[in-house]
Amino acid sequence: MARTQGSHSDITGPKVREAALRLFAEHGYAAVSMRQIAAEVGVQAGALYNYTPDKQHLLFSLLHEHMEGLLAAQAAQPVPEDPVARLEAFCRFHIRQNRARPQAVFISYMELRSLTPEHFAEIGRLRDRYEAGLEAVLKAGQATGAFSVEDTRIATFAVIGLLNAVNVWFREDGRLTLEEVERLHWDMVRRAVSA
C-alpha cells in the first residue's frame, strides 16, 4: 500500500462534490450549509476546505465541470448534413443529456444567480456556446427552406424551453421510455419550426 489508511483525498474529494451537487439541487445553494455537506460525506465541516477554497468556488466548479462536459459531448456528436436531421440530433442529444445529469442541469439553470459576477459571466459564455449550436441549425434550415421561423434567436429559446419541459415531469420508472419521450418532443419541435 502506497498510502496510509488515513489518506482519503481520492475518495473524499469526489464524495464532497457528489454531496454538494445533490444538496444544491435539492435545497438550493443558499439553503445548504457546509456543515450539511460535511455530514453527508461523513467528515467535519473544516475538512471540506481541503477540497475547495470556499463554498462559492464549489458551486462554480460543479457548474463549470458540467458545462465543459456538455460541450465536449456535443462536439463528439456526428453532425448530419441535412438541417432537419441535425435538428433531430440536437433535440435527442439535449434530452438525453438532461436525463443523464439531472442534478447538474438543474443547478445550471437555477443557481446562476448564486455565482459571483465573474463566475456568472464565465458559465454564461459556455452556455451561449452550447445554444449557439442550436441557433446555427435553425439558421441553416431557414436558408435551405426546410424550416420557417421568423426569428431564429427566439425560436432557439422556444425550442430549449420546450425540450426542458421534460425535466419537470420525467421519472425514470414512469410509463414512457426515454426513446419515446425523445420522439414525442422531436415531433413537436419539428412541426413547430418546419416550413
Partner DNA sequence: GTCTATACTGAGATAGAC
Partner DNA sequence: GTCTATCTCAGTATAGAC
Binding site for DNA (CB under 7 A): 6-9, 11-12, 32-36, 38, 42-47, 49-51, 53-56
- Torsion angles phi and psi, residue 51, rounded to 5: -120, -15
**Could you tell me the smallest distance in angstroms from the CB atom of residue 18 to a copy of itself?**
20
Measured between alpha carbons, how far is residue 83 from residues 79, 86, 130, 136 in Å? 9, 5, 17, 9
75 or 109: CB nearest a copy of itself:
109
**Could you tell me the smallest distance in angstroms from the CB atom of residue 124 to a copy of itself?**
12
49 or 157: CB nearest DNA:
49
58 or 123: CB nearest DNA:
58
53 or 145: CB nearest DNA:
53
**Could you tell me the smallest distance in angstroms from the CB atom of residue 164 to a copy of itself?**
6
Contact 193, 138 (CB under 8 A): yes
- Find which of DNA, a copy of itself, none residue 192 binds, CB within 5 to 8 Å per kind: a copy of itself
Residue 88, C-alpha cell as written in the block: 433531430
- Find which of a copy of itself, DNA, none residue 169 binds, CB within 5 to 8 Å per kind: a copy of itself
- Find which of DNA, a copy of itself, none residue 193 binds, CB within 5 to 8 Å per kind: a copy of itself
**194, β-bridge pairs:** 147
> Measured between alpha carbons, how far is 191 from 157 in angstroms, rounded to an integer?
16
> Measured between alpha carbons, how far is 151 from 51 in angstroms, rounded to an integer?
45
**Could you tell me the smallest distance in angstroms from the CB atom of residue 162 to a copy of itself?**
4
**Could you tell me the smallest distance in angstroms from the CB atom of residue 56 to DNA?**
6
How buried is 193 (Cβ within 10 angstroms: 0-12 exposed, 13-18 middle, 19+ buried)? buried
51 or 186: CB nearest DNA:
51
User: What residues make contact with a copy of itself under the rule CB under 8 A?
Assistant: 26-28, 30-31, 110, 113-114, 149-151, 153-155, 157-166, 168-169, 176, 181, 184-185, 187-189, 191-194
> Measured between alpha carbons, how far is 112 from 60 in angstroms, rounded to an integer?
9
Contact 3, 39 (CB under 8 A): no
Contact 84, 146 (CB under 8 A): yes
